[in-house]
Amino acid sequence: MSGVLFSGGRLIDPALGHDGPADVLVRDGRVAGVGQGLDAAGAEVIDCAGLVVTPGFVDLHVHLREPGREDAETIETGSRAAALGGFTAVCPMPNTDPPADNAGVVEMVAARGREVGLVDLFPVGAVTVARQGTALAELGAMARSAAAVDTFSDDGSPIREAKLLRRALEYARAFDAVIADHCEDVTLTGGAQMHEGELSGLLGLRGWPAAAEDMIVARDLLLAELTGGRLHLCHLSTAGAVELVRSAKARGVRVTAEVTPHHLSLTDQALADYDPVFKVNPPLRGKADVEALRAGLADGTIDAIATDHAPHAREAKEVELAQAPPGMLGLETALAVVLTDLVEEGWLTMAQAVERLTAGPARCRRVPGHGGPVEAGAPANLTVFDPSAPWTVRPEALASRSRNTPFAGRELRGRVVHTMLRGNFSVRDGAIGRLIDVREGASR
């Protein structure tokens, strides 16, 4: 009888509250057993001594650029990056061309993900037609489609009209869907290049004030409370936003929130040399904001770590700061940044870090079969990583089609060894089989 036994590892399964030694046996695409001394007859035994075994990671917020911007990323290259980062499920955002505001586009994205077969794609549909903020998109049709969309966002384009957001929250309640908002008052951020603070003044750059985020977070929370709808807040970046969410959760508001690895590890000081790779929306904030985000992640105010993986072609980023689009790569470095900057520095335990990458995001939207638990009968969607393995981030070695990582040249600790999707290795021994460099047409 064939199968795989992950032997001698530390199993962290937040969904079941397990953190300790355990073997995991996989047969026929599912977990066949969890424990010690399992009968591995006929199974390949993989030694996981010194390694951590977890449910596959879930990313609520990625930009795979297909359709429309395949020069920056494709579903295939983005899926490779995700698998190498330990992710078995990712949620592509709808700011494609054409936008994912109808059943046809979201079904195409989901189908292309199945063709590639490295990660499961759970598309996010647009809230409004063409993400223009004037009329609701076909939310019901996308929810009933083969893609079964249950989360909607105009990400990058905040829902400006409170009345429209209220209608979306009320309508989405009919199928228990989530409205995810990018919180930005654009009347305060026009022409902004970075966080508004002392450094923006010294550099002579127009700033993006924290109040522009906090005001919309407060509005959205009030509307979620009014409607009883499910609200998700994308990529929080300010101390004020964290406190607003903390208070709303205490009142019973149905809200979840995410934070990116770059907002947890970098500050606005990274822009001191005007390097466009560090331009992102929302912008990198000050040290006090970073610490508030870390504390909010630790105490559960923030539910999930989401990469906001935003690839851009080299020529788009290698321009003056004002002309460069915002966005950073994140899929392949997420785990290592969290382990290096949060776990090693004592902000999170290892178990908390895993929870915010697995069960936490799985609470925010429906991702069947992902996020745990790791138990007999469950799909074998698993990640195995070495928590202490050092490696240096080299943009040219990343699987993404783009190179705009803010961590280039930095040594991090923590590397994915294996990723398994429904019992098949999408990553084995740190590499994807048959990995073809689509930029040069050569095997890697």
Output the DSSP codes for 326-382. Answer: P-B--TTTHHHHHIIIIITTTSS-HHHHHHHHTHHHHHHS--TT-S----TTSB--E
Residue 190 one-letter amino acid: G
State the average pLDDT over residues 351-356. 98
The answer to whether 342 and 294 are in contact (CB under 8 A) is yes
* Average of per-residue pLDDT values in the chain: 96
Give 122: exposed, middle or buried? Use CB within 10 Å, 0-12, 13-18, 19+.
buried
Reported as a pLDDT band with limits 50, 70 and 90, residue 441 is very low
The predicted pLDDT at position 436 comes to 35
φ, ψ of residue 319 to 5 degrees: the values are -140, 180
pLDDT in tens, 108-136: 999 999 999 999 999 999 999 999 999 99
Stretch 189-205: mean pLDDT:
97
Label residue 39 by pLDDT band (50, 70, 90).
confident
Average pLDDT, stretch 374-394?
Answer: 98
Q: Backbone phi, then psi, for 371, in 5-degree steps?
A: 85, 0
User: What does the alpha-carbon distance between residue 172 and residue 94 come to, in Å, rounded to a whole number?
Assistant: 17
Measured N-to-C along each axis, helices 210-227 and 239-250 cross at an angle, to the nearest 10 degrees, of 20
Quick one: pLDDT at residue 40?
87
What is the predicted pLDDT for the residue at 392?
98
**pLDDT over 60 (residue 419):** yes
Provide mean pLDDT across the span 227-251. 98
* Mean pLDDT confidence for 145-169: 97
Provide mean pLDDT across the span 332-347.
Answer: 98
pLDDT of residue 434: 43
pLDDT at residue 406, as a whole number: 98
- Which entry of 101, 150, 308, 386 is annotated as an active-site residue? 308
Question: How many whole angstroms separate alpha carbon 104 and alpha carbon 122?
Answer: 14
Report residue 433's pLDDT band, with 50, 70 and 90 as the boundaries.
Answer: low
Q: Does the structure show a pLDDT above 50 at 271?
A: yes
- With a cut of 90, say whether residue 442 has pLDDT above it: no
For residues 386 and 389, give the distance between their C-alpha atoms in angstroms, rounded to a whole number: 6
Residue type, 359: A
Q: How far apart are CA 302 and CA 122, in angstroms?
A: 21
pLDDT at residue 37, rounded to an integer: 86
Tokens encoding 318: 């290698």
CA–CA gap between residue 165 and residue 133 (Å, rounded): 9
The alpha-helical segments, DSSP class H, found in 395-434 are none
Mean pLDDT of 2-7: 95
pLDDT value at residue 161: 97
Q: Which of 383, 392, 352, 438 is nearest to 84 (CA)?
A: 383
Q: Are 61 and 235 in contact (CB under 8 A)?
A: yes
Please compute the mean of the pLDDT values over residues 52-69 and round it to a whole number.
Answer: 98
Give all strands of the β-sheet with 52-55 in edge-to-edge order: 18-21, 10-13, 52-55, 382-392, 411-421, 424-427
pLDDT band at 358 (very low <50, low <70, confident <90, very high): very high
Task: Give the C-alpha separation, 171 to 294, whole Å.
Answer: 33
- Which of helix, strand or coil describes residue 389? strand
pLDDT recorded at residue 388: 97
Task: Kindly provide the b/e burial profile for residues 303-318, where b requires at least 16 CB atoms within 10 angstroms of the residue's own CB.
Answer: bbbbbbbbbbbeebbe
Torsion from C-alpha of 255, 260, 261, 265, nearest 10 degrees: -90
pLDDT band at 443 (very low <50, low <70, confident <90, very high): very low
Q: What is the mean pLDDT of residues 255-278?
A: 98
Taking 90 as the threshold, does the pLDDT of residue 19 lie above it?
A: yes
What local confidence, expressed as pLDDT, does residue 378 receive?
A: 98
Q: Is residue 203 scored above 80 in pLDDT?
A: yes
- Backbone φ and ψ of 35, nearest 5°: 155, -160
308 is catalytic: yes
pLDDT value of residue 126: 98
Residue 94 near residue 100, CB atoms below 8 Å = yes
Residue count (the chain):
444
Residue 67's identity, in one-letter code, is P
DSSP string, 115-146: HH-SSEE-PPBPSBGGG-SSSB--HHHHHHST
